[in-house]
């Protein structure tokens, strides 16, 4: 199963300057764990020390906020896209 | 409510004092009058419309210019800043001759030139929990062009509490976000981001930089949404989040739902405005929160007497390239936890950044890892520039 994880440019430098990462897993959490295993520096930017989502990084599975699909336990299927939306405040 | 089926919010219904347009105005707005979706009726609604811009900076510049040109009759602007040379790369509301002037003064001059039919109301103050509700109540909508988390949460909550739509835009480096929050049925900013990041975790544009044209892109999207709301036409970004990636030139919209647990618009347990500095964890950072601080003069003295000092600059790479203190080494805050083995326990560690907030956080982090002799340089490179080395460029 191949999932795509889309990073914003601000996090791409922690993932070998790539914004589009291939990942494996059956849930959003699995897919993120897979990506973090390859790019450990991403870990603390995507989830807290106990592995839970932060309130200031929102994850989308395709077009839907994962909080309405079971959070990190949201099931993913081949071809799905996980989009990382970090909070930014610039103006 | 789904995203694509969102009804436009018609703000003008509540007005019965729709103004007439003069001959000069009819000519001025002729390209609007030709649009069946605007026409004479719509243009009169715009003239009756009241928009409050929070911030006259990167986003506020195109917003103010286009809303004024479009004939929005009443434009309020909240800002307390002075035009600085570093603003001019993106803040097209202000010019080189305005350097040192209050932004509200140059905004008033520029908008008066673009469209003398517009009434500009200026508020030379920081938007606070004490004044936000009173200011916002006078307006049909608010456009958020602020540059910090506390004010963004303040604007959001004040909009939810007063039932005022919040046209949101936010930028960083090459990326931007836009949406419309706080309409009667739509989600709010807190539904998207439940809480702010801890101080220092997400760099600001002053720390990480921003492509000058990006606020132009996002600000004009906000202006478009504001005009649609005032006109009551089209499908707005209510219930949708627009993500813009200027580097890849990709636009994408995601569905936004009201969070049933949102304290502002869901459970509605938030009845009044709170202390937003505290909410964003900034009280602790400003005071240094128990981290020992060293002033520039003290650090100069320590070095002069030959202390073994590890001066660690925790800013972003672009900031380091722009200017850094002689003898410092560079470990960005985000990379600190991965670089612990480069620190020696028998040396004095002094962390530095731009203004002293991130270095205090780095020092706290190092202390938590068991380093005892850790200090934060008070006031960062800005104070160093003012007190020790004026040849360093400011930014
Ligand atoms: Zn909400």
Strands across the sheet containing A20-23: A20-23, A3-6, A81-86, A57-61, A64-65
Contact check, Cβ <8 Å, A8/B193: no
Chain A interface includes B385 (CB < 8 A) = no
What's the rounded Cα separation, in Å, for the pair B146 and B275? Answer: 17
| Residue of B70, B34, B35, B38 whose CA lies nearest to B51 | B70
Chain B interface includes A45 (CB < 8 A) = yes
* Minimal Cβ distance to B338: which of A8, A9, A41: A41
In chain A, which ranges are E strands?
Answer: 3-6, 20-23, 57-61, 64-65, 81-86
Tell me which residue has tokens 């608010």.
B142
Q: What is the CATH number of domain B12-284?
A: 3.40.50.720
Which residue in B has a C-alpha nearest to residue A83's C-alpha? B254
Chain A interface includes B320 (CB < 8 A) = no
Q: Which tens digits make up the pLDDT trace of B286-340?
A: 445 578 999 999 999 999 998 889 999 999 998 999 999 999 999 999 889 889 9
What does DSSP assign to residue B247? T
The whole-angstrom distance between residue A68's C-alpha and the CA centroid of its chain comes to 16
Which helix (H) or strand (E) segment holds residue B386: the answer is helix B380-387
| Residue of B214, B65, B200, B76 whose CA lies nearest to A91 | B214
User: How confident is the model at residue B13, as a pLDDT?
Assistant: 54
Q: Which tens digits make up the pLDDT trace of B123-137?
A: 999 999 999 999 999
Chain B interface includes A6 (CB < 8 A) = no
Domain boundaries, given as residue ranges, for chain A: 2-86
Chain A interface includes B166 (CB < 8 A) = no
Contact check, Cβ <8 Å, A91/B55: yes
Ligand 1: centre distance to CA B267 (Å): 9
Number of alpha carbons in the 13 Å side-chain half-sphere of residue B115: 22
Structure-derived torsion over alpha carbons of residues A88, A91, B1, B4, reported in degrees to the nearest 10: -110
All residues of chain B having their beta carbon less than 8 Å from the beta carbon of residue A58 are 192-193
Give the mean pLDDT of B145-174: 97
Residue A10 pLDDT greater than 60, yes or no: yes
What's the rounded Cα separation, in Å, for the pair B243 and B263? Answer: 25
Contact check, Cβ <8 Å, A60/B202: no
Global confidence as pTM: 0.84
Q: Which tens digits make up the pLDDT trace of B244-284?
A: 999 999 999 999 999 999 999 999 999 999 999 999 987 75
The angle subtended at Cα B336 by Cα B333 and Cα B340, nearest 5°, is 160
Contact check, Cβ <8 Å, A87/B208: no
What's the rounded Cα separation, in Å, for the pair B357 and B200? Answer: 7
Q: Which two tokens stand for residue B201?
A: 């975790």
Residue B383 pLDDT greater than 50, yes or no: yes
- How is domain B289-387 classified at the architecture level of CATH? 3-Layer(aba) Sandwich (3.40)
Q: Which tens digits make up the pLDDT trace of A18-76?
A: 999 999 999 999 999 999 999 999 999 999 989 999 999 999 999 999 999 999 999 99
Ligand 1: centre distance to CA B266 (Å): 6
Please give, rounded to a whole number of angstroms, the shortest distance from the CA of B317 to a CA of chain A: 11
Q: Quick one: B154 exposed, middle or buried, by C-beta within 10 A (0-12, 13-18, 19+)?
A: buried
Residue B6 pLDDT greater than 80, yes or no: no
- Residues of B with a catalytic annotation lie at 205, 353
Chain B interface includes A86 (CB < 8 A) = yes
User: How confident is the model at residue B242, as a pLDDT?
Assistant: 98
Domain A2-86: top CATH class: alpha beta
Contact check, Cβ <8 Å, B196/A67: no
Domain boundaries, given as residue ranges, for chain B: 12-284, 289-387
User: How confident is the model at residue B289, as a pLDDT?
Assistant: 59
Do B124 and B80 meet the contact criterion of CB atoms below 8 Å apart?
A: yes
Q: Quick one: B315 exposed, middle or buried, by C-beta within 10 A (0-12, 13-18, 19+)?
A: buried
User: How confident is the model at residue B4, as a pLDDT?
Assistant: 40
Contact check, Cβ <8 Å, B147/A89: yes
Strands across the sheet containing B141-144: B119-123, B74-78, B50-54, B141-144, B166-172, B175-181, B240-245, B250-255
């Amino acid at each position: 199963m191949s999932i795509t994880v889309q990073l914003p440019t601000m996090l791409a430098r922690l993932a070998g300057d790539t914004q589009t990462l291939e990942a494996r897993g059956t849930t959003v959490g699995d897919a993120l764990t897979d990506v973090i295993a390859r790019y450990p520096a991403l870990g603390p930017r995507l989830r807290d020390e106990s592995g839970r989502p932060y309130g200031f990084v929102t994850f989308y599975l395709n077009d839907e906020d994962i909080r309405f699909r079971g959070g990190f336990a949201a099931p993913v299927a081949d071809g799905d896209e996980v989009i990382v939306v970090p909070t930014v405040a610039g103006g | 409510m789904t995203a694509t089926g969102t009804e436009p919010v018609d703000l003008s219904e509540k007005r019965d004092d729709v103004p007439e347009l003069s001959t000069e105005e009819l000519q001025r707005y002729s390209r609007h009058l030709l649009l069946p979706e605007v026409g004479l009726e719509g243009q009169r609604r715009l003239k009756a419309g009241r928009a409050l811009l929070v911030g006259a900076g990167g986003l506020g510049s195109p917003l103010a210019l286009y809303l004024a040109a479009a004939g929005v009759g009443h434009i309020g602007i909240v800002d307390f800043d002075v035009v600085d040379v570093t603003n001019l790369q993106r803040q097209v509301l202000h010019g080189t001759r305005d350097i040192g002037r209050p932004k509200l003064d140059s905004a008033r001059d520029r908008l008066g030139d673009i469209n003398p039919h517009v009434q500009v109301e200026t508020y030379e103050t920081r938007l606070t929990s004490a004044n936000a509700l009173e200011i916002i109540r006078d307006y049909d909508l608010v456009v958020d062009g602020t540059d910090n988390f506390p004010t963004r949460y303040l604007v959001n909550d004040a909009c939810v509490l007063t039932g005022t739509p919040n046209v949101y835009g936010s930028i960083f480096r090459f990326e931007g976000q836009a949406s419309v929050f706080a309409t009667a049925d739509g989600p709010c900013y807190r539904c998207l981001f439940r809480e702010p990041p801890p101080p220092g975790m997400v760099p600001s544009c002053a720390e990480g930089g921003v492509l000058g044209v990006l606020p132009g892109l996002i600000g004009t999207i906000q202006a478009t949404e504001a005009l649609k709301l005032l006109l009551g036409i089209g499908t707005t970004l209510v219930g949708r989040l627009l993500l813009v990636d200027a580097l890849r030139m990709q636009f994408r919209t995601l569905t936004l739902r009201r969070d049933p647990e949102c304290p502002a618009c869901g459970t509605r347990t938030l009845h009044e405005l709170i202390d937003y500095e505290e909410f964003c964890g900034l009280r602790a950072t400003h005071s240094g929160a128990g981290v020992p601080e060293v002033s520039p003069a003290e650090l100069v003295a320590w070095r002069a007497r030959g202390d073994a000092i590890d001066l660690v600059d925790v800013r972003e790479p672009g900031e380091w390239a722009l200017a850094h203190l002689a003898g410092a080494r560079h470990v960005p805050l985000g990379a600190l936890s991965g670089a612990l083995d480069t620190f020696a326990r028998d040396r004095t560690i002094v962390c530095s950044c731009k203004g002293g907030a991130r270095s205090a956080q780095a020092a706290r982090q190092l202390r938590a890892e068991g380093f005892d002799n850790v200090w934060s340089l008070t006031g960062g490179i800005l104070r160093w520039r003012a007190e020790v080395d004026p040849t360093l460029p400011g930014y």
